[in-house]
Chain A
Amino acid sequence: MSGFSCQRLSKTFFAHNAVVPALESIDFRVEARSFVCIVGPSGCGKSTLLRLIAGLLPPTSGCVCFDREASQDKPRTALVFQEHGLFPWMTVLDNVAFALVGQRQGRREGRRLAQAQLERVGLAGFAHSYPHQLSGGMRQRVGVARALLANPDILLMDEPFGSVDAQTRLVLQEELLNLWREQQKTVVYVTHDIAEAILLGDRVLVMSGRPGRILADIAVPLARPRMLTAVDSPEIKDIKWRIWNMLESEVRANLGTSSAPFS
Chain B
Amino acid sequence: MAGWLLVWEMAATRRWISPLFFPAPTTILRTLLAYSASGKLVADLAATLGRLLMGLMLGGSMGMLLGLLMGGSPRLRRLVDPLVAAMHPIPKISLLPLVLIIFGLGESSRVVLVAVASFFPTVINTMTGVQQIPPIYYEVAANYQASPLTVFRRIIIPGSLPMILAGWRIALNTALVITIAVELITAREGLGAAIWLAWQTLRTEHFYAALLVIAVLGLGSNGLLHLLSAWLIPWQRQDHST
Contacts and interface: CB of A to CB of B under 8 A. Distances in A.
Interface of A: 51, 54, 56, 75, 77-79, 81, 84-85, 87-90, 98-103, 129-135, 150
Contacts of B242: 132-135
Interface stretch (B74-82, B143-151, B208-216): B143-151
B139 interface: yes
Q: Give the secondary structure class of A's interface.
A: loop
Contact of A132 (B139, B145, B154, B235): B235
Q: Give the secondary structure class of B's interface.
A: helix
A81 B136 contact: yes
A132 B144 contact: no
Closest 6 interchain pairs by CB? Answer: A102-B145, A89-B158, A130-B235, A101-B146, A133-B240, A89-B235
Contacts of B235: 88-90, 130-132
Interface string B137-181: 101111111110010001100110100000000000000000000
A101 B137 CA distance: 14
A87 B137 contact: yes
Contacts of B154: 87, 90, 98, 101
Nearest to A129: B240
A232 to B, nearest CB: 34
Nearest to B239: A133
A105 to B, nearest CB: 12
Nearest to B158: A89
A130 B234 contact: yes
Q: Identify the interface centre among B134, B143, B144, B159: most chain A CB within 10 Å of its CB.
A: B143
A101 B136 contact: no
Interface string B223-242: 00000000001110000111
B129 to A, nearest CB: 12
Given A75-B144, A81-B139, A102-B146, 19 more contacts: A54-B143, A56-B139, A75-B145, A79-B139, A79-B143, A87-B137, A87-B158, A87-B159, A89-B159, A89-B235, A90-B154, A98-B140, A99-B144, A101-B144, A101-B145, A129-B240, A130-B234, A130-B235, A150-B144
